[in-house]
Amino acid sequence: MDKFLFGRYIPGHSWVHRLDPRAKLVLCFMYVLVVFFANNLWTYLLLTVLLLASVAATAISLRIFLRGLRPLLWLLIFTVLIQVFFGAGGHVYWSWGILSVTHDGLISAGLILMRFVLIIMISTLLTFSTAPLDIADGIESLLSPLRKVHFPVATLALMLSLALRFVPTLMDEAEKIMNAQRARGVDFGTGGLKQQIKTIVPILIPLFVNAFNRAVDISTAMEARGYQDGENRTKYRQLKWQRADTISFLVYVVSLASVIGLRFVA
């Protein structure tokens, strides 16, 4: 598990951890949008400073963030290389057959690299500092205006929260089934592709059947506890918008607006 940092939550009590998940979701979304507006040195500099300041506010070290980039390293290199060798326009530095390194190609490669890193870092920041449950609550709250068009927000939220609650339970179960099948002689991870796909079946089918049994049990239990439908319920969990949220919001809005401004000025 330690290798896989992408999408994980790192518990803490920092400024960012204590922010309202709605604020974090909206700010993260705005940031990603604005990244696509950035087009010159100053805008990127401002975005980077904003990101680094936010990273500092999570009290999680930058090293862990950079480690989170590692699984995507190959994708990054691949995209940058394509831009470098296939970019066109401006002064041609080097060319061989269909490959050519040009001034504009290099610049767009740099831009793509920056955008990639910024977007990944800001999303990592969101998942590092926000528990999955809070993200679910935030999404529910942000979707609530859709109630007006009869979108089943409460039902969706319950589904999301049940799904999140059963992730570790089902992981445990998959592990158990795998071990049980291993004890009966199934060999995982060896042989050709076809053989490997075949060995997944004895995990998948019991997992599937158990999931159905679980669904029946849990719906019985929910009904016995008075659950009727998603809309007519009160809520125990409540999100609270605090001063820290307003301050962060202002900082982001000002910075991101300046980025858009700089695009046209500089």
Choose between 172 and 187: whose C-beta lies nearer to other proteins.
172
Nearest distance from residue 184's CB to other proteins, in Å?
Answer: 24
CA distances to 15, 178, 180, 208, 222 from 196, rounded to whole Å, are: 46, 13, 17, 19, 39
Choose between 52 and 222: whose C-beta lies nearer to other proteins.
222
Nearest distance from residue 188's CB to other proteins, in Å?
Answer: 24
For other proteins, the binding residues (CB under 8 A) are 133, 136, 161-162, 164-165, 168-169, 172, 213-214, 217-218, 220-228, 232-238
Choose between 168 and 189: whose C-beta lies nearer to other proteins.
168
> How far is it, in rounded angstroms, from Cα 64 to Cα 9?
12
Burial of 109 by CB count in 10 Å (0-12 exposed, 13-18 middle, 19+ buried)? buried
> How far is it, in rounded angstroms, from Cα 192 to Cα 198?
10
SS3 221: helix
Nearest distance from residue 198's CB to other proteins, in Å?
Answer: 30
H or E segment at 93?
A: strand 92-96
Choose between 95 and 220: whose C-beta lies nearer to other proteins.
220
Nearest distance from residue 206's CB to other proteins, in Å?
Answer: 16
